[in-house]
Amino acid sequence: MGDSDYEGTVETNSHPDAHQHDANLQQLESSPWFDPELLEDVYSGNGNSRVTVITNSLQNLEFWQIENGALEEQVGPGPGESLIQQETSDGRIDHRTFWVDSELVQKIPGIPGVIAVIDAQVAPEPYSIEPFDKPDFLPSTVTTGQLHGATDAWESGYSGEGLIVAVADTGVDFAHPDLNGTQARVTFHDSPYFGWPLMLDHSSMYSWMVHGEAYPERSSWYADTSIIDLDNNSDGILDNSGLNITGVNMSISGEYHLGEHPDSTLRSRQGGDVPILVVDDQEYGHYKTVYADLDRDGEFGDEVPMRPGEETSGLDTNGDGLWDVSGGLVYWVSDGTLGVPYGD
């Protein structure tokens, strides 16, 4: 093999002996962590290896993949979907799994930013199944309640039950099993947002109210669902997009609104855009029911509907009754008249 463009790589010209094998392994262990199982592919001449690379620069990794012919082609979009170019991350820990020529595997640790190279064809094993010995001391966190006066409040009968707590964060996933159902809702009967969850996203609000833009036109948590599709022949297939709405409550107006899920993490995990469908299935022209095609199969009938009172959705991938993929939470649907919550 020729010289690498990156420093710190291990090179080999032929099948080395055991001494060379040990030397290579020792050098790799002093660099980013390298799965020794991968060396078996190198010296057995298997041809290709399936690797998972953990790195804090997908940009550097992608450049290397392109130069060495190891960049896999993106799966094409499904019915009614489109692919959007996303900028490759840099400066944060991420991972990528791909096939690569086994003779190139030893060069991956030399790519700037690489933290670990793992054999993706072997199921990971736990380090140990032996339980830890019980420590002879208690963690200092058990006294947190005393330090902050919480235990005094509890003893006085104050439990916090019924209080609404505002979480000032970049996002809280209320579709998580531990949080689902805990979202606070608007309880003022004279509010036009009555029944919807209490949420505020100032960044998305600014993009919409100042620029009139939502996802996918702009990076935002507001999804543009202004595209209208019809099912004129009532065959369960939308006429323009080809999306399957069999099993979905019928639109009273006959018009189905379409958009794309704005969650970039969801798109990355599912391998592309996640279509969403908005239906006025309860009152003519009032679009309050939202479906997200989380498995990206072009069908909405097997998805969990989101509407006031049941605003979350998810996908159970292993049949254990818990959502493994989150569709997030819907807290507002524009009706063409009612503006963004708290935007007036």
Question: Tens digits of per-residue pLDDT, 90-100?
Answer: 788 999 999 99
pLDDT of residue 163: 86
pTM of the model: 0.59
Mean pLDDT across the stretch 76-105? 81
Q: Give me the sheet containing 289-292, strands edge to edge.
A: 227-230, 255-260, 275-279, 289-292
Between the alpha carbon of residue 38 and those of residues 7, 22, 34, 85, 329, the distances in Å are 20, 13, 8, 32, 42
Give the containing element (helix H, strand E) for 48. strand 48-57
**DSSP label at 96?**
E
Question: Percentage of residues in the chain with pLDDT exceeding 90?
Answer: 52
- Quick: pLDDT tens for 292-335: 999 999 999 999 999 999 999 999 998 888 999 999 999 999 87
- Quick: pLDDT tens for 306-316: 999 999 999 99
Nearest to 111 by CA among 188, 57, 192: 57
The dihedral region occupied by 68, where left means phi > 0, alpha psi between -120 and 50, and beta the remainder, is: alpha
180: phi then psi, degrees, rounded to nearest 5: -55, 125
Side chain identity at residue 26, one-letter code: Q
Between the alpha carbon of residue 206 and those of residues 36, 48, 176, 259, 281, the distances in Å are 51, 49, 27, 20, 30
